[in-house]
Amino acid sequence: MYRKQVRRRRAILVVLVVACLMLISISISEAEDGPLHSVQSGVSSILSPVGEGASRALKPVRDLVDWFDETWTARGENDELKSQVASLRQELLDTQNAAEKAGYSQDLQKLIEAGGLSGYTAVDASVVARSPSLWYSTIKISAGSSDGVARNDAVITKDGLIGHVTEVTGGTAVVSLITDSSNAVAARVVGKGPEGLVEPIVGATGKLSFGLIQGDEDVKDGDRLVTAGFTTESGLASLYPADIPIGQVVETIPAQDQQKEQVNVEPFADLSDLPEVTVLTGGGTDG
């Protein structure tokens, strides 16, 4: 029984193959308006709407697949763009830092040459810490005795005086700013000559005032102050070299009753923003 079924199936398969070959042969040799072509066109017309319907039904699925594919592609491109932006941002920062350092060095050199400070050795340093106290304005810098820094060395930026060295270790130093309550700077008015002391204002953290010691000239708003840099006959020298810019007079308050005239001064250097400073070595005195 089984063998008969196998032989019957084989016979049917052979018949179908022969029929297909005959149809193909007839279709090729038949004219376009022949009966076989007419049947083919009719079947195509019947099945065409079915194909279009299936295509429409499957369109959301295809769109969903395309969306996932485009999304993953976009994510990859987005990650690559983010990496490129980060790289370009870092290159820009490096270029800006290099330009700032170059500009700082040029401005600092102009200040040293204009102020007659060429006899000092300039040691650049970064600020690594600031004092948290409101009354003691100090910073710690990344240069010390191994760099030639000594106590009482003047410390400046490209804008002017900021203070002097008070403590030194091998690789660091502490700088007392001119706004520190323990500091006083001998100063003079540019072009006029009256001398006095620039000191922090008591009760006004970070503010400076200029008190006259000698000279009868009036001090006015806009007057510029520089270090006096005097040396007495006994050999006592000012802590700071002469002609370092300090600040500008911004307000003059007339004297009242027993009080003296108060001259408020704004430092040229931004003492709240000191990423880098320069120590003038070779002129400090121990003590």
CB atoms within 10 A of CB 115: 21
Query: Is residue 44 domain-shared with residue 175, that is, in the same domain?
Result: no
Q: Residue 53 to residues 11, 43, 48, 49: CA-CA distances in angstroms? A: 38, 16, 9, 6
Quick check: pTM over 0.75? no
Query: Is residue 37 domain-shared with residue 177, that is, in the same domain?
Result: no
Total domain count for the chain?
A: 2
In-domain check, residue 89:
no
CATH classification at residue 210? 2.40.10.340
Query: Is residue 53 domain-shared with residue 130, that is, in the same domain?
Result: no
Rounded Cα distance between 223 and 244, Å, is: 15
Residue type for 14, please? V
Angle between the 35-114 and 2-29 helix axes, to the nearest 10 degrees? 80
H-state helical runs in the chain? 2-29, 35-114
Rounded Cα distance between 14 and 9, Å, is: 9
**Each residue's pLDDT tens digit in the chain (287 positions)?**
656 666 777 777 776 766 666 666 655 665 556 565 565 565 456 545 555 655 666 677 677 777 767 777 777 777 777 777 777 676 666 665 555 555 666 777 777 776 667 788 899 999 999 987 766 689 999 999 999 999 999 999 989 999 999 999 999 999 999 999 888 898 989 887 778 889 998 777 778 999 876 656 778 889 999 998 765 444 445 678 888 999 999 988 877 765 677 889 999 999 988 889 999 998 544 43
Q: What is the dihedral of CA 232, 237, 238, 241, to 10 degrees?
A: 120
Query: Is residue 134 domain-shared with residue 56, that is, in the same domain?
Result: no
CB atoms within 10 A of CB 118: 10
Residue type for 162, please? I
* Structural tokens at position 138: 């100090």
In-domain check, residue 86:
no
User: 121 - beta bridge partners?
Assistant: 281
Rounded Cα distance between 22 and 15, Å, is: 10
Q: Residue 4 to residues 1, 10, 93, 262: CA-CA distances in angstroms? A: 5, 10, 88, 127
3-state SS assignment for residue 243 = coil
147: DSSP letter: G
Rounded Cα distance between 18 and 136, Å, is: 108
Domain coverage including residue 35: 2-61
